[in-house]
Amino acid sequence: MLSRLNSPMSRELKVLVVEDDFTSRLVLQKLLSKYGQVHIAVNGNEAVEAVRMATQEGVPYDLICMDIRLPEMDGTEAVRQIRDLERREEIHSTDAVRIFMTTIVRDIKVLNSSFKALCDAYLFKPIDGDQLEDQMQAFGLIEAVPQKS
């Protein structure tokens, strides 16, 4: 069974950005690189394989930003397969990777299917850095930065 020995706030994060659009990849990579390693996958198959390899190596991802509409395997199916992999590896939900869906899709049926696949949050494109950081703070991935007065 895999367990995170250190709190994500006490170390650099390991992030996977799953995005087929070049510009969206660059934006997310720039926003997230200040928090640690950012790996890239361009479709759901690559994402599942990256998570499988990271899990086997004992250094799982802390966060995945997953587009919904991807070639080869869509984001919702990739999330299902990642959660299945975690169940097989006996990774409990408290230690599971946080998955934020990133998309332009605003269809309630699509939103529901993503949450049923057990994503953690939903961010609409264009991605707002403050909104992304708010979600990261809400899930304990980063500490809140005190506001300057």
Task: Write the CATH number for 44.
Answer: 3.40.50.2300
H and E: helices and strands count for the chain: 5, 5
One-letter amino acid at 10 equals: S
Q: Give the domain range for residue 22.
A: 11-138
Full-model pTM = 0.87
pLDDT-based confidence at residue 146 (cuts at 50, 70, 90) = low
User: What is the average pLDDT across 30-57?
Assistant: 97
Choose from 9-23, 57-71, 110-124 the range with maximum mean pLDDT.
Answer: 57-71
One-letter amino acid at 24 equals: S
Q: How many domains does the chain have?
A: 1
> Which positions ≥6 away from 18 have C-beta within 8 Å?
40, 41, 42, 43, 44, 46, 47, 64, 65, 66, 67, 70, 75, 78
Whether 148 is covered by a domain: the verdict is no
Whether 144 is covered by a domain: the verdict is no
Whether 143 is covered by a domain: the verdict is no
Closest CA to 113 of 146, 77, 63: 77
Whether 124 is covered by a domain: the verdict is yes
